[in-house]
Amino acid sequence: MTNNQDTTEQKGNIIIIEGERYTEEELSQFYKELLNPTPATPPTPDNFDFKKAFFLEDNEFGRAIHNAIQTKYSGIEAITKIPLGKGSNPFYVVAVNEALRELSRTQPKYSKIRTATQADLEKVLKDDLLELKEHYEDSGLVLRTREEPNKYFAEDLFNQFKTQGNSLKKNSAYVLWLHNLLLRKDTNFPHKLSFVLPNAFSDYFEAPILNETSQQTFDSSDIDFSKGIPKKLSASGTRKLYTRNWKDYSIKNSGLVGFCLDWGLLLDSNYECLGGSGDDGRVVLVSAEGDAL
């Protein structure tokens, strides 16, 4: 027989539930966290001296990561449509990092692995660690304004920054690395997902050069290797930068877009299809450990 007796009583400011004693403050905090869970702060550092760079591919390690993602985000087409080792978009790359953090709970070595930033990719190119020229590699988001493209996501991120006490400049561009972000399932958003800033988020930077006129050029020697973006542009470089500042855009330098190293080593900060993916996409991982996994 079920006992339906109320086992809660209060003595002063102490509340007793099932024999356990709680203060009103403790219960208030418990229910606050239950209703509004706080995202964990990603433990992987923004910059470390990685000793190994490799693609996420069809091997034991890759399958463990990919299968965990497919299970967690079952029914989310923007993620589940991507086959292992042949495709990429910002949602999938964030999910890779989430899976790595989950694995690191039982296997600490995974805490020293994350997806590459554009700064990492430039080092990969400089040291000739991987062949990147015939693929595209997603590394970040570029947040400019609350407008289109991807207005829904842009407004949400601006609001999250404001909630954390960070005021972003108007008419500028900010780079957010994907390895630092989290995902939240939300049917109100396109692709049924939204991006979440971790607590006390500080791993972002202003990048005014990403608002310069699109399709200007630069050389690899112009790169700021701490950020992975060029320090200056010219008309005669060997590589090209794409931005949202172009005659074809009704609203220039606006919204939220992906940030990737594209075919031919182009630097792309203008693509708006966050849920798209192509077979030439690759996820690049970097590790602080030199040994093979």
Residue-wise pLDDT for 93-118, tens only, equals 999 999 999 988 888 878 889 999 99
Pair 91, 109: CB distance under 8 Å:
no
Residue labelled with tokens 């320090």: 231
Percentage above 70 pLDDT, the chain: 81
Domain residue ranges of the chain, discontinuous segments joined by +: 52-287
The pLDDT value recorded for residue 289 is 64
**DSSP conformational letter for 257:** E
In angstroms, the Cα distances linking 34 to 9, 31, 242 are 21, 5, 43
Ramachandran area for residue 128 (φ above 0: left; ψ -120 to 50: alpha; else beta): left
Q: For residue 239, what are its two tokens?
A: 């590589």
CA distance 53 to 234: 30
pLDDT for the residue numbered 170: 86
- Position 9 scores a pLDDT of 54
Whether the pLDDT of residue 172 is over 90: the answer is yes
Whether 43 shows a pLDDT value over 80: the answer reads no
- The overall average pLDDT reported for the chain is 87
Number of H helices, E strands in the chain: 6, 17
pLDDT confidence tier of residue 270, bands split at 50, 70 and 90: very high
For residues 142 and 173, the answer to whether their CB atoms sit within 8 Å is yes
pLDDT score for 99: 95
Question: Considering the entire predicted model, what is its pTM?
Answer: 0.82
Closest CA to 182 of 54, 37, 21, 5: 37
Going from the C-alpha of 208 to that of each of 31, 56, 213, the distances in angstroms are 42, 32, 11
Evaluate if residue 1 carries a pLDDT over 60: no
Per-residue pLDDT for 173 more than 70? yes
Q: How far apart are CA 41 and CA 157, in angstroms?
A: 16
pLDDT at 223 over 70: yes
Q: Work out the burial of residue 233: count CB atoms within 10 Å of its CB; fewer than 13 is exposed, 13-18 middle, 19 or more buried.
A: middle
Share of the chain above pLDDT 90, in %: 73
Residue 22 confidence (pLDDT): 57
Q: What's the farthest any 2 CA atoms get from each other in the chain?
A: 83
Structure tokens at 7: 């086992």
How many CB atoms neighbour CB 290 within 10 A? 8
Other CB atoms within 10 Å distance of the CB of residue 114: 28
Helices 60-72 and 90-104 cross at an angle (nearest 10°) of 110
The answer to whether residue 253 scores a pLDDT higher than 50 is yes
Query: Do 239 and 263 touch, CB atoms closer than 8 A?
Result: no
Asked if residues 143 and 181 have their Cβ atoms less than 8 Å apart, the reply is no
* Residue 32 pLDDT: 53
